[in-house]
Chains A and B, each alone.
Chain A
């Protein structure tokens, strides 16, 4: 089982949040597929790339060069991204302590957060593509 998130923020000369579908791949963790520190960092690195792209959209929104509903779009996305720091902190603690049971639980909670994120984007009218 896998979920993915990707971002493409440009269309023509105006910054838009136009596609979510190719940027992040999170594979469900399990006892046989543990969350090692490197694996956790890989996921965090890819998430960070997407967040950095979102920050570009956010900056364009502040500067008035993004699409009209950008403030509403960002607020809708923040509903989920604001849940991430707590989960990430917990995940790091569990991984650092090699508590694989709880690390797997929290890792998969992050996965579900992205699934909800995907649904939100679809509800906002954005093409989410064919996610793995």
Chain B
């Protein structure tokens, strides 16, 4: 995946941010994570650290678990 493709990918993720803000979700962490994953060195190789990758994985696990949980009964 080249840099342009990466930026396009992240840009599409960022396109959802207005929706996230409207729903009251803290987007700061997600912005930082997405931006961190686009960094490359002088040779164009990604420079995301294992910690950054682990953070993204953990956040997805948390959010998926929340969405996949059963809804509480209607009141």
Contacts and interface: CB of A to CB of B under 8 A. Distances in A.
Contact of A41 (B15, B22, B52): B52
B15 A23 contact: yes
A57 B74 CA distance: 15
Contacts of B48: 37-38, 41
Contact of A49 (B30, B57, B61, B64): B30
Most buried by B among A4, A40, A53: A53
In terms of DSSP, what is the predominant structure of the interface of chain B? helix
Contacts, number: 140
B39 to A, nearest CB: 9
B16 A6 contact: yes
Most buried by B among A15, A52, A84: A52
Most buried by B among A48, A54, A88: A48
A116 interface: no
Nearest to A95: B53
B24 A56 contact: yes
A7 B23 CA distance: 13
A24 B20 contact: no
A67 to B, nearest CB: 14
Interface of A: 4, 6-10, 15, 22-25, 27, 33, 36-62, 64, 71, 74, 78, 81-82, 84-85, 88, 92
16 contacts: A23-B15, A38-B48, A41-B53, A42-B1, A44-B57, A46-B9, A46-B34, A47-B60, A49-B17, A64-B75, A71-B74, A74-B71, A78-B68, A82-B68, A85-B68, A88-B61
